[in-house]
Structure 1
Amino acid sequence: MLRRGLLGAMAMLPAMPALAQGPAWPARPVRTVVPYPPGGPNDIIARLYAPALTAALGQTVLVENRAGGSGVIGTDYVLKSPADGYTLGIVDGGSLTIAPHTQPSMPYRPPEDATLLSVVTRVPEALVAFPGIGARSLAELLDLARRQPGRLNIATAGAAGISHLTAHFFRQQTGAQVEVVPYRGAAPAVTDLVAGQVQLLFADLPVILPHIKAGALTAIVLAARHRSPSLPDLPTTVEAGFPRLLAENWYCAVGPRGLPAPVVQRVSAALKQASETASVKDGLAAQGAEAAWTTQEEFAGLVAAESATWRQVVAASGVKAD
C-alpha cells in the first residue's frame, strides 16, 4: 500500500512545475496605453486594433489614454510597468526616435528600457501647398523657392515633432530657402495653410487627405519610398530625386523591458493576426494609413536607423522641445 502510494505521488511530480507557473497569459484583461489624448491618430489606431487583439488573445484588450510631454509621459508609464504583459503601449515612433534628441531630459532610454514588439501602422508625411502659389510638383516648388528666396513659409504640426523636423530636413536636403514656422498642432497649421497665411506644410497624410481631395490644398510630394494607396498619383521624394528625404510616421507596440518570451511570442502573433483583419486594414486605409507588422529584429533596426537620422537633423537645426 505504502509503495503504491509513493509511486502515485511520484507520478504527480512532473505536473507540479506547470502548476507553479500559474495560469497561461493572458488570464485577465490587457491594457494598451496611448500616450496622447482621445480622438487623435494614436488613439484611433489603438482603438481599431483593440477588438482584433481581443479576438486573437481571447481576453479583453482595453485602451487607456495617458497624455503629456509629447508622448513621453505615457510611454514612460508603460516602460516602468510590471513586465507581466498586462500593460503594453501603442505609441508613436517619435517617442522612441525623436524625443530622446529633442527633450532636455528623458525618463527612459530607448531601446534599452523597452521590449520592442512590432510596428503596427505606417503613416507617410506629405508636403502640401496653398494652391495660390501655383506650384504643383516638387520641381516647380523648388524653382519658385530659388527664384523668390524667403517668400515661402513652411508650417509645422507642432514643435519638435516629426512635422517640424521634416521641415528642417527638407531645407537641408533640397537647399530651399523657406522659413520654418512652428504651430501648436496640426489643426491651426492646416487652418492657416488653407487661408494662405502660410504656403507649405509637412503633415501626416490622414490629417490633410480630406483637404487634398476637396481641392483646398495641393499635394506636392510624399516623403516615402513607395506611393500611398490613398493617393496613388502622388510621387514620392525618391522618385523626385531625393532618396534620403524620407519621413514616415509610424506607430508601434511596446512593453516594459524583460517581458517573458512566451508573452512576447503570443503578443507578436496576435499583432500579426490583427494587422491582417479587414476591420483594421480598412479602418486605417480610410484614414490614409497602412496596417503593418514587423519582427522584433526588423523593429529594432528601424529604431536604430530612424534615431540616427533624426539625431543628425536635430544637431543641424538646433530644434529642441519646449
Structure 2
Amino acid sequence: MNHHPLNRRHLLQMAAAGGTAALWPQAQAQSVWPSRAITLIAPNAPGGPADTLARVVTTSLSQQLGTSVVVDNKPGAAGKIGIQAMLRAPRDGHVVAVTSVTAMSALPVFDPQVGYRSPEDFEPLVLAVRTPAVWCVHPSLGVKNLAQLVALAKSKPGVLNYASFGTNSSSHLAQEDFFRRVDIRLTHVPYKGESEGMTALLSNQVQVMMISGAAKPHVEAGKLTALATTSADTWEVFPKLVTASRSGVLQLAHYSYEPWLGFSAAAGTPAETVTRLQNALRDALRTPEAQATLGKLGYRVVAGSAQDMRNAIEQDMTLYRVLLRSGRVSVS
C-alpha cells in the first residue's frame, strides 16, 4: 500500500517545520529591540545641561520605542564617569548617553586616563542642540560690561575666581580660551556641574562664570549681573544683551562660542538599533513640547546627523590642541 511513504514524508515535513518553529521564538527574542527599559545616562548632576536635555526627550522616546526610558545621572570628572559607564554596558542599544563637547572632544585631548578614544569608541546618534552662554559676575564685583571685567582682571591678575563644570571640561576650556584672547588671568575653581558652579557664584565664592540660559532668572532677580552673551548673534534668551563680539573689546571682534550636546551609543551597537534610535531622537527633539522647553532655556535645537556630530568633534579637538599648546591649560 502506497499511503505509508506519503505519511512518512508528511511526518518528516511536520518534524522539520516543528523544529523551525521551536527555533523561531529564540531567534525572534534575539532580534527584538528594545527588550527592556532604556537607560539614558546624563553625565552631570540633576539640573545641568545634559540632564535637562535627557529629560526633555524621555516621554517621546518611550512612546516611540514602546518601553520606559530612565534618566541615570552620573556626575563627576567632567562627564567621564557617565561616559565610561555607558561604554562598559552591553552594546545592544539599551544604554545610551547624552554626550557633550567635553566628553567627546576635550577629555580625549587633555586627560590621558580618559579610558576611551573619540570618536572611534562611539556610535554618534544625533547632534541635538547648541547652547550659547552668558558671561555673569556677582553684583558685588561692580562691573557692568566685559570691558570693565577685563580691566579689573588685568589690574588684579589671579585674584578673581571663576567657576567651571570641572577641570578640562568644555566650560573650563572655553573660559580659559576667552581669557587667553583678552590676556587676563583668573583662578579656576572646578565644580561637578553647572548648577553647583552657579550656586558658588550666587554666594560669591567665585566672582565670574560663563553660564547657560539657566542664569536668566537669577539675572532678572538681580542676583547676578549679565555682561554679554557668547552667541554669534543676538540670543533669544537675552535679547537686549550685547554679544561678546560687539562688546567693544577689540580682541573679541570675531569671537563666538556655542557648545553642543548630542546623543551617542557605544561603537558596535547593531546598525538597525542605531537607525531606530536616531529617528526616535530626532522626532523627540522636534516635538512642540521639546522645542518650547529647550527654547526657553536657551538651547538652539539642531537635530543634526551623526556626521554633523563627527564634524563637530573633529573641529573642537583641533581647537583644544591649539589651547593646549598655549600653556593656559595642561594635561590632567
**Structure 2 length normalisation: TM-score?**
0.80
274, 280, 285: which one aligns with 2:290: 280
Letter in 2 for 1:229: E
Partner Cα separation in structure 1 for residue 134 and residue 327 of structure 2: 20
SS of residue in 2 equivalent to 1:215: coil
- Pick which of 248-257 and 284-293 moved more: 284-293
Match of 1:219 in 2: 226
User: Whole-Å Cα distance in 1 between the matches of residues 159 and 240 of structure 2?
Assistant: 25
2:87 to 79, 84, 96: 79
**For each residue in 1:168-210, what CA deviation from the matched residue of structure 2 results, as whole angstroms up to 9, or x when unmatched?**
11122123x342332435556545645666543222331x222
Count of matched residue pairs: 316
**Structure 2 residue corresponding to 1:164, chosen from 138, 156, 172:** 172
What's 1:301 paired with? Answer: 311
Unpaired stretches in structure 1, ≥5 consecutive residues:
none
Separation (CA, whole Å) in 2 of partners of 1:117 and 1:317: 34
Instruction: Give the residue type in structure 2 aligned to 1:160.
Output: N
Partner of 1:66: 74
Give distance in 1, aligned partners of 2:158 and 2:67: 56
Q: Residue 233 of structure 1 is aligned with which of 230, 237, 240?
A: 240
- Contact between 1:152 and 1:179, CA under 8 Å: does it hold in 2? yes
Whole-angstrom distance in 1 between the partners of 2:131 and 2:197: 18
Query: Alpha carbons of 1:90 and 1:187: their partners in 2 closer, same or farther (altered >3 Å)?
Result: closer
Paired AA for residue 117 in structure 2:
R
Q: C-alpha distance in 1, partners of 2:48/2:175?
A: 22
Question: Does the CA contact (< 8 Å) of 2:163 and 2:206 recur in 1?
Answer: no
Alpha carbons of structure 1 residues 299 and 155: separation in structure 2 relative to 1, 3 Å: same
Distance (Å, rounded) in 2 between the aligned partners of 1:244 and 1:120: 25
The Cα of 1:115 is off from its aligned counterpart by: 0.3
State the alpha-carbon separation in 2 of the partners of residues 289 and 23 from structure 1: 36
* Structure 1 residue 284, shift from structure 2 partner: 2.4
Whether the 8 Å CA contact 2:47–2:195 is kept in 1: the answer is no
For the pair shown, the structure with the greater C-alpha radius of gyration is: 2
CA distance in 1, matches of 2:142, 2:70: 47
Are 2:36 and 1:28 aligned? yes
Percent identical residues? 26
Give the equivalent residue in structure 2 for 1:255.
265
Cα displacement string for residues 282-312 of structure 1 (whole angstroms, at most 9, x for unaligned residues): 2223433343311111110001111211232
1:91 maps to 2:138: no
TM-fit CA distance, 1:149: 5.5
Structure 1 pair 198–253 and aligned structure 2 pair: CA distance change class (3 A):
closer
Aligned to 1:173: 181
Could you list the runs of 5+ residues in structure 2 that have no partner in the other structure?
A: 1-5
Residue deviations 1:50-94 (CA, integer Å, cap 9, x gap): 111112222222222334432112211212333221111123331
1:128-187 superposed Cα distances (whole Å, 9 cap, x missing partner): 2334555433345445556x4638725122433222222211122123x34233243555
Higher helix proportion, which one? 2
Name the SS for the 2:259 alignment partner: strand
How far apart, CA to CA, are the structure 1 residues paired with 2:10 and 2:244?
A: 76
Query: Please, which moves more after superposition, 133-142 or 80-89?
Result: 133-142
Q: Which of 195, 204, 216 pairs up with 1:209?
A: 216
Q: Which amino acid aligns with 1:280?
A: A
Deviation at 1:320, TM superposition (A): 4.4
Q: Which residue matches 1:310? A: 320
In 2, the alpha carbon distance for the partners of 1:173 and 1:274 equals 38
Task: Supply the RMSD in Å over aligned alpha carbons.
Answer: 3.5
Asked if the contact 2:176–2:328 (Cα under 8 Å) also holds between the matched residues in 1, the reply is: no
CA distance in 2: counterparts of 1:189 and 1:53, whole angstroms: 30
